[in-house]
Amino acid sequence: MRNIDFSPLYRHAIGFDRLFNLVENSANKPSQQNGYPPYNIEQKDENNYRITMAVAGFSEDALTISQNEHMLIVSGDITSSEIKPTYVYQGIAERNFERKFQLADYVTVSAASMENGLLHIDLVREVPEAVQARKIAINK
């Protein structure tokens, strides 16, 4: 595999260190996630998003959603019952999971809900007034 050197870009892209680190880390580290549970990411409008995860077999108490700065972590912990069934075919995965999502600046979780075995996590981008683009007057 090739190693890409982003150091020349650091001279021209001020403040994008986190972005370059994210790209370098994802390129150098093999994916730890195996696709379970399946999920969708929907963009509702310019500043609103929704993550929908298929979490069949999990109750609301078995799911944990946490946000730490730019990382959203969704985990599920199934408590194993003492009676183990004998399956003829097991197509429904019954295992613990932890799914991580890297969030952009100013994106926060606004709500979470469960409906028909689907976990919905609503995200909103709220850019502070001080950071938004503004017009600068030229003095004469």
39-131 has which fold? Immunoglobulin-like (2.60.40)
Of 40, 64, 46, nearest to 106 by C-alpha is: 46
pTM above 0.85, yes or no: no
In what order do the strands lie in the sheet containing 97-102?
A: 63-68, 71-76, 97-102
| Residue 7 pLDDT | 66
Confidence of residue 1 (pLDDT cuts 50, 70, 90): low
Domain segments of the chain: what residues? Answer: 39-131
Average pLDDT (78-89) is 80
Q: Which residues of 45-74 are buried (b: 16+ CB within 10 A; e: fewer)?
A: eeeebebbbebeebeeeebeeebeeeebeb
pLDDT at 4 over 80: no
Contact 60, 23 (CB under 8 A): no
Evaluate whether 62 touches 41 at the Cβ level (below 8 Å): no
Considering 80-84, 92-96, 97-101, the range whose residues carry the highest mean pLDDT is: 97-101
Find the angle CA(129)-CA(134)-CA(138) to the nearest 5 degrees: 145
